[in-house]
Structure 1
Amino acid sequence: MIMMMNAAVGNIFPFLPSLSKTLSYSSPTLFFPILSPRTRSTRSLVIETTTVAEAQTSEEARSESVARRLILLRHAKSSWDDRSLRDHDRPLSKAGQADAIEVSHKLQQLGWIPELILSSDAVRTKETLKTMQEQVRGFLEAEVHFISSFYSIAAMDGQTAEHLQHAICKFSRDEILTVMCMGHNRGWEEAASMFSGTSIELKTCNAALLEATGKSWEEVNLFD
């Protein structure tokens, strides 16, 4: 089940998609599923002794399917003050910076903090991430890769979803459970709609949050 929430007034309305793995976040409108936030582990060095039986149990646990979560975030609103800049080089506007701050805190409240972030290398996307990292430490601790093709693929009809899935499988690892991909429309909107099986509109600084189960990211089929 998915819940739609208006961040400005706090009203909640039930919303039924064709698949239960979809969540869409927008500013100021949010679409939430009912999820239990996953506790993030600390990254300290721990030395442990493990029995053979414990090791076997641990290995069995790792081989089981687990919930894997994908955040598709469109960059925050960009500035058009300098018309001489290339589209790729436009920075965030003040409104965009404010929205990036808001979305970072909303994702933190939901417990949707990525361990891996794959982002377009466009200036407005980088600045969206930088603002989020300044607000919430979890975004700063995530592994980050800037992928130039995320900028161009978003303008190609119907190709973004498959491209994103390939990128996730390339850069992720089995122990990574939450991935965030940051980019542009129209591609991000198309990908969110294809993955969810329902029409999703992603305005600037909107995010679609999707959840699926699998032993690895290669096993997860986001198109199911």
Structure 2
Amino acid sequence: MRAAILCNCTNNTAISPLLFSKRSIFSSSSSLKTLRNPNITHFSSRSLVVETVESELSENAEKKSRRLILLRHAESSGDPYLRDHDRPLSKAGRIDAVNISHQLQQMGWMPELILSRVQNLSDAARTKETLRIMQEHVPGFLEAEVHFVASFYSIAAMDGQTAEHLQRTICEYSRDEIFTVMCMGHNRGWEEAASMLSGAAIELKTCNAALLEATGKSWDEAFSSVGLGGWKLHGIVKPSTAS
């Protein structure tokens, strides 16, 4: 369906480029006959006719940016008497979790879907504790859909497989209307995945987040269109207390 927009412009009137698609057609009064409207008999020489293709505008609007946050959990206590699964956050780790949640909020990178590694039923497990603290201090994180993924714990220790596993998991749990996903896990997998997806050498210390972007109508399309190494690195977010 085509839509015609008539704009009577003066020297002091600016036309917003947001009104026009790349295929917009500009014509003076000499080409108004293309409208074939018998009710239009006269336009001033300053009149513009803008013809846009609505289907194209709709298609472009659907190809929004897909944003992926790869967040490494906050610092653990390092207690040697506890299993790796069971170690809680350190005092510095709890402060970092608060800090990173506010930074992501300020940047507008609020996830609609959170995928986190599951460790055990203990609320003290460090990845779940990181998320709980973020939810307590920034309510927006409570609005996100959350899924705990058991394979996130083991896959991070397997060379070269984390990025592809994240891709499969994100496509499984997400929907087309979800545009920002946060995956929470640990090294070395998260650092490796961020580097493979972006094609850049990325270092993620505890509670660091890699912000990645790609475009697609769906997550499947976003991953397939850019492949490994094609995601744009928007930046690395680090808590101000991090060394």
Structure 2 vs 1, CA of residues 97 and 60 (structure 1 numbering), >3 Å: closer, same or farther?
same
SS at match of 1:211: strand
The equivalent residue for 2:146 is 144
Which has the bigger relative contact order, CA under 8 A and spacing at least 6?
1
Residue 87 of structure 1 and its aligned partner are, at CA, apart by 0.4
Distance in 1 between the 2:144 and 2:218 partners? 19
Residue 124 of structure 1 and its aligned partner are, at CA, apart by 0.5
SS at match of 1:218: helix
Residue 121 of structure 1 and its aligned partner are, at CA, apart by 1.1
Structure 2 unaligned regions, length at least 5: 1-53, 120-124, 231-243
Distance in 2 between the 1:199 and 1:93 partners? 28
Residue 85 of structure 1 and its aligned partner are, at CA, apart by 1.7
Deviations 1:25-64 (A, max 9, x none): xxxxxxxxxxxxxxxxxxxxxxxxxxxxxxx97x945873
Cα RMSD of the aligned pairs, angstroms, is 1.8
Deviations 1:134-188 (A, max 9, x none): 0111101100001110000000011000000000000000000000000010000
Counterpart check, 1:117 vs 2:119: no
The equivalent residue for 2:64 is 66
Aligned counterpart for 1:76 among listed residues 58, 74, 77: 74
Residue 84 of structure 1 and its aligned partner are, at CA, apart by 2.6
SS at match of 2:219: coil
Structure 1 unaligned regions, length at least 5: 1-55
Counterpart check, 1:86 vs 2:88: no
Identity rate, percent:
72
Residue 80 of structure 1 and its aligned partner are, at CA, apart by 2.1
Contact 1:62–1:215 under 8 Å retained in 2: no
Counterpart check, 1:209 vs 2:224: no
Structure 1 stretches (4+) deviating beyond 4 angstroms? Answer: none
Contact 1:68–1:211 under 8 Å retained in 2: yes
SS at match of 1:92: coil
Distance in 1 between the 2:62 and 2:177 partners? 12
SS at match of 1:220: helix
Counterpart check, 1:200 vs 2:198: no
Q: Could you tell me which amino acid in structure 2 is paired with residue 167 of structure 1?
A: T
Counterpart check, 1:95 vs 2:92: yes
TM-score of the pair, normalised by structure 2: 0.66
TM-score of the pair, normalised by structure 1: 0.71
Distance in 2 between the 1:100 and 1:209 partners? 16
Distance in 2 between the 1:95 and 1:64 partners? 42
